[in-house]
Copies of this chain bind each other. A is one copy, B any other.
Amino acid sequence: MQKMDYFFKPKNVAIIGASRDQTKVGHVIFRNFIEGGFKGKVFPVNVKANKILGRRCYSSVLDINERIDLAVVCIPSKVVPNVMEECGKKGVHAVIIISGGFKEVGNNELEENTRDIAKKHHMRVIGPNCLGVFDSRTGVDTIFLPRYKLERPEKGEIAFITQSGAVGSVVLDWMAKRGYKVSKFISYGNAVDVDEADLIEYLSKDDETKVICAYFEGVKEGRKFLNVSKKVTKRKPIIVLKGGTTNAGTKAVSSHTGSLAGSFEIYTAAFRQSGIIQADNMEEIFDFARTLSKQPLPKGRHVQIITDGGGFGVLLADEIIKNGLELAEMSKESIERMRKEMPPYVVLKNPIDLTGDADTEMYRRVLESAISDRNVDMIGLIVLLQVPRLGGDVVETVINAFKSSNKPIFVISAGGEYTEVLKKSLEDFGVPTFSYPESAARSMKILYDFAQKNKANK
């Protein structure tokens, strides 16, 4: 095992600052390990308590008789160096410092000090001033926000790293609600040791992660970050949302993290050079990530639209063209076959408009035709579930088509509770869904570009 592994798959964990007080960070984190899916051993450390949640509590990590792989530190910042020395003596491999009160409030010396102690003892450190780690498979969960306020997503193939804890907490909560799935989540805060480049490198070798997503306002070491990214994007997509893209935003960054945000233009150029996909907002990160982790690569840029609502088909056609893609023209044979199978009112052009009389069987047949048609590279599948003859079983048809297709299928569906429930079951079966034509078309374009780059690299 390399040192970084201990953040994600430790056997024995110490929670330094574990607390009996339910409103305390140290309580919530300790409880996460006990009540979540964590399989290893957890040791609460607190000078003032004998027992926490029925477990024996230790006054120092040095009092624990077993080896400790990972220490989670949630105590006032000024006592962090002492505790770090103890962790070093104990032979702890990795430390997550949740506590704030370091560089971000001007305590630069305290932060330097912490870094030096970590170096001396060869410990890797995530934080300080962060949420830490959520690993959906091993159950490591240092997120100090209770689950009723912040849901945890299920296990999947998208990793997310974030400088901002606030952005991180919203993202986790929001992924859970929509049924988006995560492999590893890391909020790394001030990055006293482990930085975005280290995490990207680590995640590039993580078999459970197919796509790496990041939010940050600035990177710690530009050259290191670019070198790592350039190497990684050859194998795995990296998607970045950069905060602080204007002067005002940059000023906001400096009063918020104390780090320099740097010019947006320089970042954009550097991202492009190193093959990083830039997202414009939070929704895009996950639209792109789900697309890249779930869809097969398209051979070309021709999209066939299938819809049960004319207006939605029109909007999608617009967006496809705006994104530099093209509408497919299906072969004569496909059209003739569908003509025989479909009611006369169905429009067999592009979009194929099944109209508000669409049923599941009609969707099944046109999907079959589009998947097998040589002129079609991608499918934009609009399924408005409000129409009267369309039953919930269309979900199964879409899942089957998606699983059997070697062409990407972009499912678009929007509406109220009924629609959201059915969309979530599509997500559960690994089918990415979109609410709007524009977001689907943007993701088609990203996937097409990625496929082209992939071809060129071969």
User: Hey, which bits of chain A sit against chain B, CB under 8 A?
Assistant: 23, 25, 28, 100-101, 105, 144-146, 148-151, 162-167, 169-170, 173-174, 176-177, 215, 217, 243-249, 251-253, 255-257, 280-283, 305, 307-315, 317-318, 320-322, 326-327, 345, 347, 349-351, 353, 355-356, 384-389, 414-420, 436-438
Contacts and interface: CB of A to CB of B under 8 A. Distances in A.
Contact of A166 (B256, B282, B310): B310
A170 B384 contact: yes
A318 B173 contact: no
Contact of A317 (B252, B313, B327, B355): B252
B145 A255 contact: no
Contacts of A311: 162-167, 215, 217, 243, 256
A388 B438 contact: no
B317 A418 contact: no
B28 A388 contact: yes
Rank and list the top 7 A-B pairs by shortest CB-CB distance, nearest first: A166-B309, A164-B311, A256-B310, A249-B318, A177-B416, A167-B311, A173-B416
A214 to B, nearest CB: 12
Contacts of A308: 166
B166 A356 contact: yes
A356 B416 contact: no
Contacts of A437: 281
A425 to B, nearest CB: 15
Given A173-B386, A309-B170, A311-B162, A347 B415 contact: no
Given A386-B169, A415-B177, A252 B313 contact: yes
Given A248-B317, A249-B318, A255-B347, 15 more contacts: A100-B356, A145-B386, A145-B387, A162-B311, A164-B310, A166-B384, A167-B311, A167-B315, A170-B414, A173-B414, A176-B416, A177-B416, A256-B310, A256-B353, A281-B437
Contacts of A165: 309, 311, 356
A314 B217 contact: yes
Contacts of A246: 317-318, 321-322
A253 B314 contact: yes
A28, A151, A167, A310, most chain B CB atoms within 10 A: A310
Contacts of A415: 150, 169-170, 173-174, 177
Given A28-B388, A386-B150, A386-B173, A249 B315 contact: yes
Contacts of A350: 252
18 contacts: A23-B388, A25-B388, A28-B388, A100-B356, A145-B387, A145-B388, A148-B418, A149-B385, A164-B312, A170-B384, A173-B416, A173-B419, A215-B311, A246-B322, A248-B326, A249-B314, A256-B351, A281-B315
Contacts of A150: 386, 415-416, 418
A416 B345 contact: no
A176 B163 CA distance: 36
Contacts of A23: 388-389
Given A349-B255, A388-B28, A312 B249 contact: no
Contacts of A162: 311
A314 B164 CA distance: 10
Contacts of A436: 281-283
A318 B253 CA distance: 10
Nearest to A168: B311
A310 B414 CA distance: 32
B419 A312 contact: no
Contacts of A177: 415-417, 420
Nearest to A165: B356
User: In this complex, which of A105, A173, A281, A315 has the most chain B Cβ atoms within 10 angstroms of its Cβ?
Assistant: A315
A149 B177 CA distance: 21
B416 A318 contact: no
Nearest to A257: B310
Nearest to A28: B388
Contacts of A307: 166
Contacts of A145: 386-388
Contacts of A388: 23, 25, 28, 144-146, 149
B170 A314 contact: no
A353 B311 CA distance: 43
